[in-house]
């Protein structure tokens, strides 16, 4: 996993190249990204990365959502190519004649696409797990949107920021954060515009570190979740929480004020909190730098627990029982 993190910036060019000639004729009324788990992360990121003029829906379920139609651009993502929820979405799209593109490393999804003579993007499977291949998948999706004239050369911007990403420069900081999180439950917060990042941090703690973790975003959390601080001292006796607030200095000043007040309330309630400033020249760069930091923190936390961060044995056990 360590080498995968260090090689992460290289994924963007490879993913974009894989989708170089993939497109469908529009115009489209909406975009539907079908996928679950790590395969859904590109759709989650797309909501925060791209300025898209039509609605984007990330569908994490069987079949297709009700808004799907012949005017939808449907992208079905399954890293393995064998995810049953995504396969059911793809098969429904094909049966109804809806515009659909498959994105995978192979498997049954590739087979179905070729059988039906429909466009398919194949990315490398050298990163072991779908959550480690977000660069491949996200850059492929963005290249597809460029090709379909939905975004304007966004894939080039992604390739340019890849040169600025230096995972090795974030390792020490991530290791320190991972050490602080030992025997604690991470709770990750961000502004609404970065909620994909806080969600993915939560997922990485789940899958890499093999622990429970939670996430939310401002200002919503100030209207409900924050009330849980009222009785947190009794909870701390059994479960220690560590709050992480991801802050961009370009966030709305009103949101930054909320973050600072919330951090103080957490401290007053007896909880631990750390505000992490997001680093980068652009929003996209800040997003991927933050994701890399989360990778390092969850990686070193896994090692502290004596866990191999790569496999997800309980998921495989569940699939077999299913």
Estimate to the nearest angstrom the gap between the alpha carbon of 185 and the chain centroid. Answer: 20
Closest CA to 120 of 67, 78, 60: 78
Assess whether 240 carries a catalytic annotation: no
Q: Which helix (H) or strand (E) holds 119?
A: none
Q: How far apart, in whole angstroms, are the C-alpha atoms of residue 126 and residue 111?
A: 20
Closest CA to 246 of 299, 206, 286: 286
Q: How far apart, in whole angstroms, are the C-alpha atoms of residue 120 and residue 31?
A: 17
Catalytic hit among 66, 223, 268, 320: 223
Assess whether 223 carries a catalytic annotation: yes
Q: How far apart, in whole angstroms, are the C-alpha atoms of residue 259 and residue 274?
A: 11
Assess whether 319 carries a catalytic annotation: yes
Q: Which helix (H) or strand (E) holds 247?
A: strand 241-247
Catalytic hit among 85, 171, 207, 285: 207
Grouping H, G, I as helix, E, B as strand and the rest as coil, residue 30 is strand
Helix axes 283-304, 167-180, angle to 10 degrees: 50
> Residue 192 in contact with residue 259, Cβ under 8 Å?
no
Catalytic hit among 96, 149, 166, 319: 319
Active site positions, annotated: 207, 223, 319
């Amino acid at each position: 996993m360590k080498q995968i993190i260090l090689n992460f910036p290289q994924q963007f060019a490879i993913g974009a190249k894989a989708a170089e000639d993939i497109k469908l004729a529009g115009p489209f009324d909406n975009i539907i990204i079908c996928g679950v788990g790590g395969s859904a992360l590109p759709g989650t990121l797309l909501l925060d990365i791209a300025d898209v003029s039509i609605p984007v829906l990330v569908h994490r379920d069987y079949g297709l959502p009700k808004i799907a139609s012949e005017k939808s651009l449907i992208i079905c993502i399954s890293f393995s190519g064998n995810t049953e929820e995504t396969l059911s979405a793809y098969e429904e799209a094909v049966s109804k004649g809806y515009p659909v593109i498959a994105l995978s490393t192979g498997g049954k999804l590739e087979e179905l696409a070729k059988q039906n003579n429909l466009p398919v993007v194949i990315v490398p499977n050298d990163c072991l797990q779908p959550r480690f291949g977000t660069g491949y998948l996200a850059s492929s999706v963005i290249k597809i949107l460029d090709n379909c004239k939905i975004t304007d050369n966004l894939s080039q911007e992604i390739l340019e920021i890849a040169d600025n990403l230096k995972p090795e420069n974030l390792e020490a900081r991530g290791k320190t954060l991972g050490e602080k999180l030992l025997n604690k439950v991470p709770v990750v917060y961000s502004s609404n515009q970065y909620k994909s990042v806080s969600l993915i941090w939560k997922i990485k703690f789940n899958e890499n570190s093999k622990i429970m973790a939670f996430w939310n975003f401002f200002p919503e959390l100030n209207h409900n979740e924050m009330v849980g601080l009222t009785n947190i001292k009794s909870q701390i006796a059994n479960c220690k929480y560590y709050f992480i607030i991801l802050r961009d200095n370009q966030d709305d000043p009103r949101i930054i004020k909320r973050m600072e007040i919330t951090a103080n309330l957490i401290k007053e309630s007896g909880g631990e909190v750390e505000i992490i400033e997001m680093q980068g020249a652009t929003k996209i760069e800040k997003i991927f730098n933050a994701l890399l930091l989360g990778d390092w923190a969850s990686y070193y936390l896994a090692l502290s627990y004596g866990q191999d961060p790569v496999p997800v044995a309980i998921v495989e056990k569940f699939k077999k029982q299913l």
